[in-house]
Chain A
Amino acid sequence: MTKYFFQELFYVLLAAIIIFGVLELLWPRLVLAYININWLLIGWVVSGILEIIVNREK
């Protein structure tokens, strides 16, 4: 289940980054006023790394 969790988290965070990016282009400051995208990017990279590690172990 852990394998799926990181995989799903990775996809959702990727989608979030893309959607937030598009929203920022459409309406500047809409996302950045409330959310620090840096943390989202770090979370996305970490979830990707953990997904690779977990999958390799299995």
Chain B
Amino acid sequence: MLKTEKIMLKLTKLRMILWGILGVTIFVLLWLKLVPTGEITYTQDFGGKNEFLSKLTPAERVKEKDRQVMITGDPVYFTLRTPRPFREAEVTFVYNTQGENASLIEAGILMSESSWRYKTKPVQNKMIDRLSSVWNVTREGKTILLQKEKQFNSIKEFYRNLPPVEEFALYNYKLDQNYILPDYRPASEFQRFDIPLRGGYEFFTYLKDEKMEFRFVFFDINRNREQDDFYLDLYYNDKLLQSKHIKGDGISSDSKEVNEVENGVIDLKDMPEGIYKVEVRANDDIVTKSIKTAQKKLSFISRLQLADPSVLEKSEESHYPALMYFSGSKINAKTIYPADLQTIQLGDEDAEDLVVEETYKKFSQNIAGNPKKTSSTKVLLEKGGIILSGDGNFAFSSKALLEPGYNRIKSSDDITDELNFILADYIPPEEKGRWKTKTVKFDLEEAFAEKEYSGGLSRKYRFMISAPGISKDRESEIEINKIQVKLKGESLWGRLGIR
């Protein structure tokens, strides 16, 4: 009897231990899912599988070596999966640069999937780092004012006595002053742009003592299996003034049926002078057949996708060859259609052309003599079906081109002889041994979050590491030792109202 009792006692203990282990495991898993403290950290050290922080992609722009990753092309991307929604992500990069061309490194988070827009923040700007050791430095918090010769004792004083535009440049800094075009006169007649554009895009326009009027003709081409509702947004000083929801044709299959949908209209009076931004937040099933406007300026910001004419069955007339204007110093082009491979003529006859000779590959060309974006470059396209991007803006006429804003420090070419001041929100990376460390904060609530499963708590965010000077040919690389993400959000006690 005693022996049986002993066995039963041992058995009870064994049961308690085994079931206890299972209970603790489930508790820990639920804790890691719900993160009751509101804070959790994930680390990608490139050693093994990581469910939360992906490896860097695309594979052809990275090289793995002994638990370290070398970035050999620009840009590279990674994704972050969060177990539940969070408010903020502090992303820490432990890295090292090799070669002289890795002068600018920025990290970005995807803000809009339709327009593929990333909000970038500085990781390292070697131009500012170098000038900081030579020029006079005034630092107030994270804002830094560099002066070739000291004229101002504080940033406030600089603000009050702003020097001429050509004498100063900004980096990661928004000057709280409206950008005014001094000699602007409104257009006397309507302009119509008939080159079809595919998917989402953003453009700047300018208004002074005139009515704002845009009429967009949209088509739904049903190439993808998704609902094609989209938005037409208008911003002034980075604030959303109005957002119009436009319904697709209701077909969510890939039937390739082409249907005209509701026209987009912006019609506003008595608006203050200044630069306005219009964004068409649409997927690639939406094609803008034409834009008619009363405005003189219509300048596409950094990227636009010219539709292949064949996607619009009803389009009889050919708009190609088409002439565009570009305000930047580096232009990129990519196509996914073999029939749209082409040579894009840039500028005058003696300038180097941009040859798009392979599909699904981005080709780039530097435009000499335009580092300050003071002039425009002609871009002559033989065919459509091409995605144009670059460090400037695009327009269909030279008069419509608008490069608002101030000089920016993005490459060593931006540091000109006339430049006397640089104002930046920038803190250089910390150096520990051979590694540099920089933490960048991102607001997750304003970023584009993909819900992996409907009704699920998980979110997926897309990040980018951009280093425009990096390429295999230029023998510059960024060695990444570790990427760490600290997520901050509401705690369980905060949600329950317990302090």
Contact B22 A30 (CB under 8 A): no
- With A28-B458, A29-B458 already in contact, the answer to whether A34 and B22 are too (CB < 8 A) is no
- Cβ-neighbour of B52 out of A1, A16, A27, A33 (below 8 A): A33
Contact B33 A8 (CB under 8 A): no
- Cβ-neighbour of A12 out of B11, B19, B33, B83 (below 8 A): B19
Taken together as a complex, chains A and B put the C-alpha atoms of A1 and B52 apart, in Å, by: 42
Contact A32 B457 (CB under 8 A): no
Report B1-46 residues with CB < 8 Å from chain A CB.
7, 10-11, 14-15, 18-19, 21-22, 25-26, 29-30, 32-33
Report B435-481 residues with CB < 8 Å from chain A CB.
452-453, 456-458
Does any Cβ of B come within 8 Å of A37's Cβ?
A: no
Task: Provide the main secondary structure of the chain B interface.
Answer: helix
Taken together as a complex, chains A and B put the C-alpha atoms of A32 and B32 apart, in Å, by: 12
- Cβ-neighbour of A28 out of B19, B25, B456 (below 8 A): B456
Q: Interface size (A, Cβ < 8 Å)?
A: 19
Contact A8 B15 (CB under 8 A): yes
Contact A4 B29 (CB under 8 A): no
Taken together as a complex, chains A and B put the C-alpha atoms of A9 and B25 apart, in Å, by: 15
Contact A8 B14 (CB under 8 A): yes
Taken together as a complex, chains A and B put the C-alpha atoms of A34 and B14 apart, in Å, by: 25
Q: In angstroms, how far is the closest chain A Cβ from the Cβ of B179?
A: 46
- With A12-B18, A15-B22, A16-B22 already in contact, the answer to whether A30 and B83 are too (CB < 8 A) is yes
Q: In angstroms, how far is the closest chain A Cβ from the Cβ of B48?
A: 12
Chain B residues in 8 Å Cβ range of A15: 19, 22
Q: Interface size (B, Cβ < 8 Å)?
A: 24
Does any Cβ of B come within 8 Å of A31's Cβ?
A: yes
Contact A30 B29 (CB under 8 A): yes
Chain B residues in 8 Å Cβ range of A9: 18
Chain B residues in 8 Å Cβ range of A31: 29
Give the most central of A5, A9, A29: most B CB within 10 Å: A29
- Cβ-neighbour of A1 out of B10, B19, B51, B456 (below 8 A): B10
- With A4-B11, A8-B15 already in contact, the answer to whether A27 and B26 are too (CB < 8 A) is no
Chain A residues in 8 Å Cβ range of B452: 28
Chain A residues in 8 Å Cβ range of B19: 12, 15
Taken together as a complex, chains A and B put the C-alpha atoms of A33 and B32 apart, in Å, by: 10
Does any Cβ of A come within 8 Å of B81's Cβ?
A: yes
Contact A23 B29 (CB under 8 A): yes
Chain B residues in 8 Å Cβ range of A30: 29-30, 32-33, 83
Taken together as a complex, chains A and B put the C-alpha atoms of A30 and B52 apart, in Å, by: 11
Chain B residues in 8 Å Cβ range of A35: 25, 29
Does any Cβ of B come within 8 Å of A45's Cβ?
A: no
Taken together as a complex, chains A and B put the C-alpha atoms of A42 and B10 apart, in Å, by: 26
Taken together as a complex, chains A and B put the C-alpha atoms of A8 and B18 apart, in Å, by: 8
Does any Cβ of B come within 8 Å of A19's Cβ?
A: yes
Give the most central of B21, B33, B51, B456: most A CB within 10 Å: B33
Report A5-27 residues with CB < 8 Å from chain B CB.
5, 8-9, 12, 15-16, 19, 23, 27
Taken together as a complex, chains A and B put the C-alpha atoms of A12 and B91 apart, in Å, by: 40
Binary CB contact string for chain B from 260 to 304 against chain A (1 if under 8 A, 0 otherwise): 000000000000000000000000000000000000000000000
- Cβ-neighbour of A33 out of B26, B51, B456 (below 8 A): B51
- With A4-B14, A12-B19, A19-B22 already in contact, the answer to whether A32 and B456 are too (CB < 8 A) is no
Taken together as a complex, chains A and B put the C-alpha atoms of A9 and B15 apart, in Å, by: 9
Contact A27 B22 (CB under 8 A): no
Chain A residues in 8 Å Cβ range of B52: 33
Q: In angstroms, how far is the closest chain B Cβ from the Cβ of A24?
A: 10
Report B121-175 residues with CB < 8 Å from chain A CB.
none
Chain A residue at minimum C-beta to C-beta distance from B10: A1
Contact A27 B10 (CB under 8 A): no
Q: In angstroms, how far is the closest chain A Cβ from the Cβ of B379?
A: 45
Taken together as a complex, chains A and B put the C-alpha atoms of A35 and B51 apart, in Å, by: 11
- With A12-B18, A12-B22, A32-B51 already in contact, the answer to whether A27 and B32 are too (CB < 8 A) is no
Contact B29 A34 (CB under 8 A): yes
Taken together as a complex, chains A and B put the C-alpha atoms of A12 and B81 apart, in Å, by: 31
Taken together as a complex, chains A and B put the C-alpha atoms of A4 and B457 apart, in Å, by: 40
Chain B residues in 8 Å Cβ range of A8: 11, 14-15, 18
Chain A residues in 8 Å Cβ range of B32: 30, 33-34
Chain B residues in 8 Å Cβ range of A16: 22, 25
Chain A residue at minimum C-beta to C-beta distance from B453: A28
Query: What 8 A-B pairs come out closest when comparing CB atoms?
Result: A33-B51, A12-B18, A30-B33, A4-B11, A16-B22, A8-B18, A12-B22, A8-B14
Interface pairs (13), CB distance under 8 Å: A1-B7, A1-B10, A4-B7, A4-B10, A4-B14, A15-B22, A23-B26, A27-B33, A28-B452, A28-B456, A32-B51, A33-B51, A34-B29
Chain A residues near B (Cβ < 8 Å): 1, 4-5, 8-9, 12, 15-16, 19, 23, 27-35
